[in-house]
């Protein structure tokens, strides 16, 4: 087994996964805010933030879809060793990770059902940068409004129209993340 596969996980899993989980939950509870997240050193092309999210939220019961460049031997081996998460196609995943372009079209991911709206996918979107400018966000967890750089305003508006069904998004760049749950209105 290669050293890259064995390394890059949390050095102190209990503490670091708790901190990472808190960052993800803060981002979901307050859409548009940027959260720092650290601990993972995943293989390229994954960012530290995406690696930390995967280590925190994935296990043997959470199928993951690797899109585009993220679907490489190094990432597959790293994810298998550190989480045991099974790899699957987009229509059966709970999490998908990749760039915006690689993750499209969004229509291939599960959005839940009327009986089980929670059976939808969360997309971990790797971004060049995250800034609190661009699209205007409103809804639960946002006092008046917030702003976030998004790869496509229209796609997030269409996703919101599906509520209570729809996808949830975690946007990552470097060691930062932001979240956009399906409840967020985008303009």
Q: Is the pLDDT of residue 1 over 60?
A: no
Query: In this prediction, what percent of the chain has a pLDDT beyond 70?
Result: 98
Q: Is the pLDDT of residue 126 over 80?
A: yes
Q: Is the pTM value of this prediction over 0.85?
A: yes
Which burial class, exposed, middle or buried, applies to 162 when counting CB atoms under 10 A from its CB (0-12, 13-18, 19+)? middle
Which distant-in-sequence residues (6+ apart) come within 8 Å of 49 by Cβ?
A: 37, 172, 173, 174, 175, 176, 177
**Which CATH number does 3-181 carry?**
3.40.50.11310
How many residues in the chain?
Answer: 187
pLDDT in tens, 88-120: 999 999 999 999 999 999 999 999 999 999 999
pLDDT in tens, 29-64: 999 999 999 999 999 999 999 999 999 999 999 999
Phi/psi for 96 (5° steps) reads -135, 140
Q: pLDDT band for position 125 (50/70/90)?
A: very high
Q: pLDDT band for position 5 (50/70/90)?
A: confident
Return the C-alpha torsion angle 152, 168, 13, 68, nearest 10: -50
Region 1-20: mean pLDDT is 85
């Amino acid at each position: 087994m290669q050293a890259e596969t064995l390394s890059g996980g949390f050095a102190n899993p209990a503490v670091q996964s708790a901190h990472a989980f808190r960052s993800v939950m803060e981002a979901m509870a307050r859409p548009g805010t940027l959260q720092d997240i650290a601990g993972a050193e995943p293989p390229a092309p994954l960012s530290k933030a995406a690696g930390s999210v995967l280590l925190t939220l994935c296990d043997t019961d959470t199928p993951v879809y690797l899109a585009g460049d993220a679907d490489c031997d190094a990432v597959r081996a790293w994810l298998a060793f550190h989480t045991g998460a099974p790899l699957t196609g987009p229509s059966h995943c709970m999490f998908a990770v990749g760039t915006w372009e690689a993750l499209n079209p969004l229509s291939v991911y599960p959005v839940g059902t009327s009986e089980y709206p929670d059976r939808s996918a969360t997309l971990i979107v790797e971004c060049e940068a995250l800034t609190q400018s661009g699209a205007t966000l409103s809804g639960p967890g946002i006092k008046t409004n917030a702003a976030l750089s998004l790869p496509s305003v229209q796609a997030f508006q269409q996703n919101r129209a599906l509520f209570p069904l729809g996808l949830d998004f975690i946007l990552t760049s470097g060691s930062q993340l932001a979240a956009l749950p399906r409840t967020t209105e985008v303009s």
